[in-house]
């Protein structure tokens, strides 16, 4: 029995440590958002649902027995997810801000308020724990399903820019730890969701391996245009050079051609002299 409790506590402690790393994994993403001063391309729904899940698990842990490890990790997750959402809202577009506020209003205010009210006033004792456990399990599944939006984007764009490998890896490892903790504690509400979490984590890591080196597309058209322009310029220069050579070569065709050219010049001189004589006569 003591060994059983030791293993349970060990997996719970490891689950806390790994889950803390999961919560810290998005830090590079939000550093990039802060650096670029825009959250465009990123979605807030995974963080909103994660915040909602953390708040639910805190509420569940308060009424459960020996759930101190659940309280510690979900308290940490609550503050981290709140910080992420705050940063996202600060750099988000107006459209994304409105969407995020709607999600917060729907899940974290109206939804959580309704669940807490119903649990407190309509249930009690072990029944309350069971009801809250089922609700927590459902929304834990939503936390693991939420990254599927990113998975869809990765498949469509063939890029893992918006799916950090560290987050996928630690989610998978965390799911393993919490599964064994729930199994040894005989808490199905903790164990069952992490089976799905493990499967989704494996899917994300496989996609990362497939799309981590996107194929580079060579842009050929601008190069062809530049080459075409250069060819046109060269042809024009060549044409001008040929024409100049032809113009120079024409007077040197042969001797008879030279005589014709000289006769033409003499005729022009005689015409010019006749015109000058005519003008002088008119003046007199």
> Average pLDDT, stretch 91-103?
93
What is the spatial distance between Cα 143 and Cα 201, in angstroms, rounded to a whole number? 12
203 shares a domain with 170: yes
Shared domain check, 127 and 82: yes
Average pLDDT on 259-263 reads 52
- Tell me whether residue 127 is in a domain: yes
Residues 121 and 76 in one domain: yes
3-state secondary structure labels for all residues of 160-176: CCCCCHHHHHHHHHHHH
Q: Which domain range does residue 138 map to?
A: 2-211
pLDDT value for 264: 56
Which of 104-108, 158-162, 241-245, 277-281 holds the top average pLDDT? 104-108
Mean pLDDT of 116-125: 90
Q: How many domains does the chain have?
A: 2
In-domain check, residue 49: yes
Domain boundary among 211, 230, 258: 211
From the CA atom positions of the chain, what is the Rg in Å?
41
Asked whether residue 169 is domain-assigned, the answer is yes
159 and 260 share one domain:
no
| 208, 168 Cβ separation under 8 angstroms | yes
Domain boundary among 180, 211, 242: 211
pTM of full prediction above 0.85: no
- Looking at the fold, whether 100 and 237 belong to one and the same domain comes out as no
Question: Is 105 found in the same domain as 65?
Answer: yes
The domain boundary residue, chosen from 179, 211, 243: 211
Q: Are residues 252 and 115 in the same domain?
A: no
Per-residue confidence (pLDDT) for residue 241, from 0 to 100: 45
DSSP string covering 97-129:
HHHHHHHIIIIIIIIHHHHHHHHHHH--HHHHH
At residue 41 the predicted structure's pLDDT band, cuts being 50, 70 and 90, is confident
């Amino acid at each position: 029995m003591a060994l059983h409790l030791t293993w349970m506590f060990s997996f719970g402690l490891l689950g806390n440590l790994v889950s803390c790393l999961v919560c810290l994994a998005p830090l590079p993403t939000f550093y990039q958002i802060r650096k670029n001063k825009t959250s465009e391309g990123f979605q807030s729904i995974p963080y909103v649902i994660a915040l909602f899940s953390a708040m639910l698990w805190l509420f569940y842990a308060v009424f459960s027995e020996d759930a101190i490890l659940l309280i510690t990790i979900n308290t940490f997750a609550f503050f981290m997810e709140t910080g992420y959402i705050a940063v996202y809202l600060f750099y988000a577009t107006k459209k994304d801000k409105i969407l995020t506020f709607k999600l917060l209003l729907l899940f974290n205010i109206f939804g959580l308020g309704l669940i807490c009210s119903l649990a407190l006033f309509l249930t009690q004792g072990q029944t309350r724990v069971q009801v809250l456990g089922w609700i927590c399990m459902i929304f834990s599944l939503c936390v693991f399903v939420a990254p599927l939006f990113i998975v869809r984007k990765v498949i469509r764009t063939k890029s893992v820019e918006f799916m950090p490998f560290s987050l996928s890896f630690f989610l998978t490892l965390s799911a393993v730890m919490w599964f064994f903790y729930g199994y040894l504690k005989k808490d199905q509400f903790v164990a069952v969701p992490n089976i799905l979490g493990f499967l989704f984590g494996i899917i994300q890591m496989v996609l990362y391996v497939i799309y981590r080196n996107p194929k580079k597309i060579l842009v050929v058209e601008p190069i062809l245009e530049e080459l075409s322009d250069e060819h046109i310029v060269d042809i024009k220069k060549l044409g001008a050079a040929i024409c100049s050579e032809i113009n120079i070569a024409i007077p040197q065709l042969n001797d008879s051609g030279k005589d014709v050219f000289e006769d033409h010049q003499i005729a022009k001189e005689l015409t010019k002299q006749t015109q000058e004589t005519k003008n002088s006569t008119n003046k007199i």
